[in-house]
Amino acid sequence: MCRIVLLMLMALAAAPQPQGKVVVVATIPPLAAIAREVGGSRVEVYTLVPFGSDPHQYAPTPRDIELVRGCDILLTIGTEPFLASIGPGGRVRVGWSDWLSAGVYIKDGNPHYLWLYPENAAAIAEVIAQALYRVDPEGVSYYERNLEEFKARVSELMEWARNQVKLCGASGARVLLAASHFEPLVEALGLKPVATVIHGGGEHMPSPREVSEAASRAVELKAEVILVLATARGGDEDRVAKAISEQTGIPIVYLWGVPASESDTYTEFMKYTITAVLAGIQASRTASLQPKQSFTLEHAVIMAMLALNLALAAVLVRGRMGS
């Protein structure tokens, strides 16, 4: 009896398999976002780790295991700590060796947030397209067209980012990284990290002495902002960043490392993230120029974000009208 009930529950928990569509399961939202853009209307994409959640804290549910078991393509970074728990599945499984073979840039062996290099996003899309060709050969021309359009959008994104950095006078701006998440983004934007306080996946926390040394280095090298993962609010990374901020007066900028919702495209996510970084730098500079006035950093951030988001909104609207 218990066995029958268990089987019924698993059947109810499993997601429906869309008729005639390629079922893609991605471990994390960035891979899912790129898969949706390349796969278009011929695919149904599911994400295992929920939006806003930490992959290091995630544990697969029975529904997730069934999704993986029945999918056509499984997309992983390949280093997720939960991979051994999701079991078999996926006619095509994409992982670490595939990214390396495609020439994805991985600095110092750090697999975290590799999609924040725009060039990597294009390479990731190529690998996903190859997987789609294998399971759905009738859609090859459709996927090829979507792939070329995605790569064109990435090229436009890179040009847009370079122009924004130049317009904001932020080239070479110094930043302190609370953790290693945003090393790829900082490098891609041409910013200068003065130090990274927490390395790797956060398994080893810095000592009080190391935190103090990072704060001193940030002051010495004139870091303008501290970059912190938005989903780390209230956690160890946030506490370390706040301690340094209180000691040095350097403001914190919270950033999303992945798309915030299923409707966000890769380019939209990246533009909002880049806008937040540049707005934070501008706000920090504005606040430092007016120490005697009742002009807080929060006011400056709001003004800078408003101006940059208005410009960004115009770009996105033009892009969608032209698509």
Average pLDDT over residues 159-180: 96
| pLDDT reported for residue 203 | 59
pLDDT at residue 311 is higher than 70 = no
Share of the chain above pLDDT 70, in %: 82
Look at residue 33 and give its three-state secondary structure. Answer: helix
Q: Is the pLDDT of residue 2 over 60?
A: no
**Any residues with CB less than 8 A from the CB of 240 and at least 6 apart, and which?**
178, 197, 198, 205, 206, 211
Overall average pLDDT of the 52-77 stretch: 91
pLDDT of 19 = 62
**How far is Cα 155 from Cα 163, in angstroms, rounded to an integer?**
13
Spatial contact of 59 and 37, defined as CB atoms under 8 Å apart: no
Residues ≥6 apart with Cβ < 8 Å to 76: 26, 27, 31, 83, 93, 94, 95, 96
Question: What's residue 292's pLDDT?
Answer: 43
At 263-291, the pLDDT tens digits run: 899 999 999 999 999 999 999 999 877 65
| Statement: residue 298 has pLDDT above 70 | no
Please tell me the predicted confidence (pLDDT) of residue 9: 43
Q: Which domains occur in the chain, in start order?
A: 2-156 (3.40.50.1980), 168-322 (3.40.50.1980)
Task: Give 204's DSSP letter.
Answer: S
Helix (H) or strand (E) holding 238: helix 236-248
The rounded distance, in Å, linking the Cα atoms of 7 and 53 is 28
* pLDDT at position 20: 85
Tokens 């924040």 locate to 116
DSSP 249: -
pLDDT value for 132: 98
| pLDDT over 60 at 121, yes or no | yes
The answer, yes or no, to whether residue 137 has pLDDT greater than 60, is yes
Instruction: List all residues 6 or more positions away from 34 whose beta carbon is below 8 Å from its beta carbon.
Output: 115, 121, 124, 125, 128, 150, 266
Residue scoring higher pLDDT (12 or 63): 63
